[in-house]
Amino acid sequence: MILSIESSCDDSAISITQIATKKLLFHKKISQELEHSVYGGVVPELAARLHAEALPKILEKCEPYFKDLKAVAVTSSPGLAVTLIEGVTLAKAVSVALDIPLIGVNHLIGHIYSLFIEKEAIFPLTVLLVSGGHTQVMEVKSLNEITTVAKSMDDSFGESFDKVAKMMGLGYPGGPAIQALAQEGDRKRYNFTVPLLRTPKFAFSYSGLKNAVRLAVEKAEPTDYKDIAASFEHIATKHLTHKLKKYFQNHPPKNFAIVGGASANLYLRVQIKELLQPYKANLFLSDLQYCSDNAAMIGRVAIDMYKKKRFTSLEDLDIASKSNL
């Protein structure tokens, strides 16, 4: 079995996965959403302190599995440096205490593998990752062959939902709140501009849209918020489908996946489904419970890394706030 730890942002999570069967034997997550909500976003130092309390509490529950552990895996990048270090320090302690190897996992690969929890992996795959920290498109041939073909130049898709929600006083995280409000609103009422419409570059940008929404919110009454949320969600999604449509002209998709916390967005799921129809491409989505950060996805990557003996020594396992993908 492998014990996996996730602490890259505001979720403290630990899982136990069986190597041979990929079965998830234990998974627990303590989310800090409530604590950060009053600030309208994640406060790194507060997050670190909460991880320091929560992770040992969850680890205690894993004691019955200790004798069967073959490795300990942990998210080592990307993420908030002060929170990554909490998970990595605990993983190192487990590695020393139980004399088992360490596996450092990239959080973005974790999100890709959230598709394969308790399942076989499917490659090749074109992946749209939409989370609070990232918006990027990757061509994934295997665990070792991942090419990023487009990224956000500024804010991420999920982050733009968080910021719009903050403007409307809806707390954190903003995605679910904006989605709920948008369902009651008119998507066509506010004519926000689709970002990078005339730029041929395959890239994303959400800061301009965020500022346009800010101006609209400042002029609006709270009764208009549902229409702003709906129009914002529509354009934020259209930006993704517009860029993907262009990319598909030369790279027709066969297996396409949406992963990351914001892949739970229902409007996005419907629009991507429609976009894929002419190509008869398969759409892969994670179970809703595994879209947002969790340790099960880290454990699932770790199984494939374990089989390839991709271990990192105690001295060499370091954190990195930026991803190399």
Which listed range, 18-26, 112-120, 125-133, 296-304, lies at the site for Zn ion (CB under 5 A)? 125-133
Residue 299 partner contact from ligand KG4, Zn ion, none using kind-dependent CB cut-offs of 5 to 8 Å: none
**In contact, 229 and 189? CB cutoff 8 Å:** no
26 binds, among ligand KG4, Zn ion, none (CB under 5 to 8 A by kind): none
Under a CB-based contact definition with an 8 Å cutoff, are residues 59 and 39 in contact?
Answer: no
* DSSP one-letter code for 197: T
Residues 165-194 binding ligand KG4 (CB under 6 A) are 173-176, 179
Q: According to the binding rule CB under 6 A, does residue 272 interact with ligand KG4?
A: no
- Is residue 6 close enough to count as binding Zn ion by CB under 5 A? no
The smaller minimum CB distance to ligand KG4, of residues 87 and 158, is found at 158
Smallest separation (angstroms) from ligand KG4 to the CB of 33: 9
The span of 61-69, 126-134, 169-177, 192-200 binding Zn ion (CB under 5 A) equals 126-134
CB of 310 to Zn ion, least distance (A): 21
Three-state DSSP at 65 gives: helix
Are 82 and 89 spatial neighbours (Cβ–Cβ below 8 Å)? Answer: no
Site for Zn ion in 269-308 (CB under 5 A): 293
Shortest Å, Cβ 41 to Zn ion: 15
Q: Which residues contact 152 (CB under 8 A, 6 or more apart)?
A: 134, 135, 136, 203, 204, 205, 206
293 near ligand KG4 (CB under 6 A): yes
In Å, how far from its chain's centre is CA 189?
A: 30
Q: Is 12 in the site for Zn ion (CB under 5 A)?
A: no
What is the longest distance spanned by two Cα atoms in the chain? Answer: 61
Which residue, 107 or 243, is less far from Zn ion as judged by CB?
107
What is the 3-state secondary structure of 147-179?
Answer: EEEEEECCCCHHHHHHHHHHHCCCCCCHHHHHH
Residue in the block written with tokens 């073909």: 149
Per CB under 6 A, residues contacting ligand KG4 are: 9, 131-133, 158-159, 161-162, 173-176, 179, 260-262, 264-265, 292-293
